[in-house]
Amino acid sequence: MELEFSGDVWFWRGPSPWHFVTVPDEECGALEAVASRVSYGWGMIPVRARIGPTTWTTSLFPKDGAYAVPLKFAVLRAEQIEVGDLVTVHLCVDT
């Protein structure tokens, strides 16, 4: 399954600070439909992600009834992304 959407980059200041983009509600329904087949625990969904030409593997975090895409620092640097930027994310979930 492949999804593409745009969202704003936000920062989580927890014990391990991280940048994320929240998956819009429209795409969350499709992810929830396959979650039981692909999740490896805690509702995490493994994906291949891409912003611009930069690709990486990660897992979607369930958050507040939606999913959040973690952005690695290498992605932020390569694509010159900052908090508040609107980015287009392409996700591939192996079902």
According to CATH, the topology of domain 2-92 is Elongation Factor Tu (Ef-tu); domain 3 (2.40.30)
All structural domains of the chain with their residue ranges:
2-92
pLDDT score at 8: 98
For 90, counting Cβ atoms within 10 Å of its Cβ (0-12 exposed, 13-18 middle, 19+ buried), the class is middle
In this model, does residue 94 exceed pLDDT 80?
yes
In this model, does residue 82 exceed pLDDT 80?
yes
Per residue in 27-79, pLDDT (tens digit) is: 999 999 898 899 887 889 999 999 999 999 999 999 899 999 999 999 999 99
Here the tokens at position 77 are 């640097």
